[in-house]
Chain A
């Protein structure tokens, strides 16, 4: 169980809620609520904003495709024993 209460999208200010729409497009999936990590990172937009942009730059297709990078991300998460 999370150690913090995850706020619903409606509890965030309007600019953040607009960012949630971009997150939905990124995942190409219609979550009932934005993914937990998305809501966590939105808690502090001055941290989550640049962190998210760095992530998107890192995940953008280059020498490796987005799919290949998702696999890299999955193995990194796996060896970090991250359940999320």
Chain B
């Protein structure tokens, strides 16, 4: 896990996962998803279904976002980009999203990403590995916070001197 690129990708997974979860958990039971009444929405829905293995249902955060097709398009583009294989595999990204969802007690995100992990081939043992890490670090973090410990390991990783994608050396 050397190099900043991996961690930029992980951070974006955390962000977009939280963004989808807050809407799904907060409004999923209160608002209905938009039906694909326009060609633009239908095309985006088709892309979403394909990305999730031919899913019958559009995940609720996207179904709600479709009130504004332009917003749906951009939200979906960002989410798809974040979860697509890149420096990190989609399998790991989905597992990170599951850990984030479990940690933040997101009923939507936990169930959704658990299903995705299984669809992407993670076994029950692998799922429990992620659960175990999530559980143990949910303990460590609270002990550290209770005692207000100061970071003492942030400097042990080497600094990545490579430029931003497409950029030049500093």
Chain A residues in the interface with B (C-beta under 8 A): 1-4, 6, 27, 29, 31, 35-37, 40-41, 51, 54-55, 57-59, 62-64, 67-80, 82-84
Contact partners of A3 in chain B: CB under 8 A: 146-148
Q: Which of B73-102 contact A (CB under 8 A)?
A: 88, 92, 95-96, 99-100
CB pair B125 A79 closer than 8 Å:
no
Partner among B88, B130, B152 whose Cβ is within 8 Å of the Cβ of A35: B152
In the complex, given contacts A40-B144, A63-B129, what are 19 additional A-B residue pairs having Cβ atoms less than 8 angstroms apart? A2-B148, A2-B149, A2-B150, A4-B147, A27-B153, A29-B156, A35-B152, A37-B144, A51-B139, A62-B129, A63-B126, A69-B130, A72-B99, A74-B10, A76-B99, A77-B140, A79-B14, A80-B138, A84-B144
Contact partners of B135 in chain A: CB under 8 A: 58
| Prevailing SS type, chain B contact patch | helix
Residue B44 interfacial (CB < 8 Å): no
**CA A35 to CA B130, docked complex, whole Å:** 24
CB pair B104 A36 closer than 8 Å:
no
Partner among B92, B150, B151 whose Cβ is within 8 Å of the Cβ of A64: B92
Contact partners of B150 in chain A: CB under 8 A: 1-2, 36, 83-84
Could you tell me the distance in whole angstroms from the C-beta of A38 to the nearest C-beta in chain B?
10
CB pair B138 A83 closer than 8 Å:
no
Could you tell me the distance in whole angstroms from the C-beta of A31 to the nearest C-beta in chain B?
7
CB pair B149 A58 closer than 8 Å:
no
Chain B residues in the interface with A (C-beta under 8 A): 1, 6-7, 10-11, 13-14, 18, 88, 92, 95-96, 99-100, 103-104, 122-123, 125-126, 129-130, 132-153, 156
16 A-B interface contacts by CB (under 8 A): A3-B146, A29-B156, A31-B152, A36-B144, A54-B132, A62-B129, A64-B92, A72-B130, A75-B96, A75-B103, A77-B137, A77-B140, A82-B140, A82-B142, A83-B144, A84-B151
Closest to B146 in A: A3
Contact partners of B125 in chain A: CB under 8 A: 62-63
| Prevailing SS type, chain A contact patch | helix
